Amino acid sequence: MMQRPDFTMVEKAEQSVKAESIHKHVFPAWPSSLLRLAVIICVFASYAWTAYPSYAAGAEAVATNKESNKDKVVYLSFDDGPGKHTREVLDILREEQVKATFFVLGEQAERYPELIQAAVEDGHALGNHTYNHHYDELYSDFKSFWKQVKQTEDIVNRITGFRPNLVRAPGGTYGHFDQNYFDLLELGGYTVMDWNVDSGDSKRKGVPAKEILRNSTKVPAGTGSVILLMHDGGAHAETVKALPGIIKYYRDHGYRFDTMRAEDPPVQFRVHPEGKYKSRKAPGAEWVAEHVKFNRNLWLSGKELKVEIGLAAGTLKPGEFRVEDQRIMVPLRPFMKKFGGSIRWDVESRTATALWKDRVIQANSVSGELKSTSASLSNDRTIQGAVQSQGGTIWVPLRELLELMGLDVSSLQSNESEWIVKANMPLAAALNFYLYRTI
């Protein structure tokens, strides 16, 4: 794991916030119109200036300790894409403000790199579903499976700058994996994820949306953590039709939605005692040492992080931020100070409060809650489980922080030395901010 400097929040005296009186004046019609026009022109002229930045993965699954009725969570997962229905799935998820995990095929990622990029930009997680989904190749021996995992990993890395270390076996692990597959993938730094609820959308051709919805909501008794299998590749238009109903069901039943991460306890099928491939030979020690043993080091190396907002930019060096799967975590206090914000620490509530423009962002290190309020806007937002506290440092996810600052993340790019995150203040937010300041 990358070494990172710790810092200690220093409590500051709270600044009193004085309410400003709003004086109303009555103008004749034409001067009022000219005033409105002048305000709009000023907003467009000063848009780049007002948008300067503040910083910036048929068998019974093995139960895990994530299953808890106290915190009901559902992980929507889509296999075999990207494909012709992925854009529709992304549109629905964006409209519903839900995040999902996409287990992608390398050959499909090569065909539709723009959909891979769109999924990452929308905040979804990516997993590795091998290159071509051909069972005879994948399960003839582990070397073939490994080759396809690495091939897909390299393709995704070229597109996004991330190497997904979440893996899902085509067809699931039951009857396909022996213990060597599990052990060697773990040694190589991967987490294998099966599922515990199957939508049944790939059982046969043309499974209707009603049946997919019914299957998707058959949650085993006592299951608090649901990993739902669906597909966005191939002919799965009915899955798209069923998706809004699936989201509504889990939302109505008190589930929160989340993306999978490699550090999550794995949900895996048991090894089939009479599996088709039980006579398969394991790779030799020399091959394992050359290809697998040091593979996990790929996730320990770091790049610089460059954040661009409007016309301004800032860079964080390796060690000044962390990468956990496909989430970039930043330390809140240095982040805000470096890009024009201020922050104070309340010892009693264990809460850091950051001030940026008209935004007040609170990070509670006890509950993990990240919350944003705005004096000029009514769209307050709270994100659960986003805050981490380690060694006196408050860490928050970059994407969520930028969004709570009222910014839109427009792109995530990568080269050999750095990640580049670009974000902008939406025009409507800039207009509201400007009007708020001039009233």
What pLDDT sits at residue 62?
57
pLDDT tens digits along 323-367: 776 678 888 988 888 778 899 999 899 999 999 888 999 999 999
Query: Alpha carbon of 303 to those of 154, 299, 316: distances in Å?
Result: 17, 11, 9
Query: Residue 322 above 80 pLDDT?
Result: no
Sign of CA dihedral 134, 139, 143, 145: positive
Could you tell me the pLDDT band of residue 147, with boundaries at 50, 70 and 90? very high
Average pLDDT (268-288) is 87
More confident residue, 161 or 142: 142
**Which pairs count as long-range contacts for 202-206, CB under 8 Å and 24+ apart, including other chains?**
202/231, 202/236, 205/235, 206/235, 206/238
Lowest mean pLDDT among 114-123, 210-219, 237-246: 114-123
Average pLDDT, the chain: 81
Asked if residue 166 lies in contact with residue 262, where contact means CB atoms within 8 angstroms, the answer is yes
What pLDDT sits at residue 21?
36
Lowest mean pLDDT among 3-7, 173-177, 206-210, 397-401: 3-7
What pLDDT sits at residue 253?
95
Average pLDDT (385-391) is 81
Could you tell me the pLDDT band of residue 309, with boundaries at 50, 70 and 90? confident
What pLDDT sits at residue 84?
93
Lowest mean pLDDT among 33-47, 57-71, 245-259, 399-413: 33-47
Structural domains present in the chain: 73-299 (3.20.20.370), 304-438 (3.30.457.10)
Whole-angstrom distance, CA of residue 15 vs CA of residue 329: 28
Query: Residue 74 above 80 pLDDT?
Result: yes
Secondary structure (3-state) at 96:
helix
Query: Alpha carbon of 198 to those of 34, 215, 220: distances in Å?
Result: 61, 7, 11
Residues in the chain, overall count: 439
Whole-angstrom distance, CA of residue 217 vs CA of residue 220: 9
| C-alpha closest to that of 395 among 341, 306, 324 | 324
Query: Residue 139 above 90 pLDDT?
Result: yes
- Give percent above pLDDT 70 in the chain: 77
Could you tell me the pLDDT band of residue 376, with boundaries at 50, 70 and 90? low
CA 79 to chain centre: 17
What pLDDT sits at residue 89?
98
Lowest mean pLDDT among 112-126, 169-183, 240-254, 412-426: 412-426
Is 64 exposed, middle or buried (CB count within 10 Å of its CB: 0-12, 13-18, 19+)?
middle
What pLDDT sits at residue 126?
95
What pLDDT sits at residue 7?
27
Main-chain phi, psi angles of 52, to 5 degrees: -65, 155
pLDDT tens digits along 93-129: 999 999 999 999 999 999 999 999 999 888 899 999 9
Encoded amino acid at 70, one letter: K
| C-alpha closest to that of 398 among 352, 306, 338, 329 | 329
Q: Which residue has the tokens 């006592």?
A: 222
Give the residue numbers annotated as catalytic, written as ranges. 79, 231
Q: Which residues contact 158 (CB under 8 A, 6 or more apart)?
A: none
Main-chain phi, psi angles of 252, to 5 degrees: -65, -25
- Give percent above pLDDT 90 in the chain: 49
Edge-to-edge strand order for the sheet containing 342-346? 342-346, 351-356, 359-364, 370-374, 381-383
Q: Give me the helices (H) in 112-208, please.
A: 113-121, 135-138, 142-160, 179-187
Could you tell me the pLDDT band of residue 301, with boundaries at 50, 70 and 90? low
CA 192 to chain centre: 18
